[in-house]
Amino acid sequence: MAVPKRRVSKARAAKRRTHYKVTLPRPIKDEDGTWRMPHRMNLTTGEYGAKKKESK
């Protein structure tokens, strides 16, 4: 029968027991009703926050 050579630390055991999950994207709704990702420019109006960005 297999027997561990050394004791497993609490941190290592906790790392093994964790359930890593994928975080889903959380879009936000702008004032004009369009959905976009947070911290990204609105593609329909070209605004980022309160500033108007111009495309090149």
Give the model confidence (pLDDT) of 1-55 as tens digits: 899 999 999 999 999 888 888 889 999 998 888 899 999 988 888 888 777 777 6
Rounded (5°) CA angle 46-44-40? 55
User: What is the domain partition of the chain in residue ranges?
Assistant: 24-56
pLDDT digits (tens, 9 = 90+) for 15-25: 988 888 888 99
**Cβ contact 32:45 at 8 Å:** yes
Q: Own/partner pairs for 42-50, CB < 8 Å, 24+ apart? A: none
**Cβ contact 14:8 at 8 Å:** no
pLDDT at 34: 87
pLDDT at 3: 93
15's tokens: 């790392």
pLDDT at 55: 60
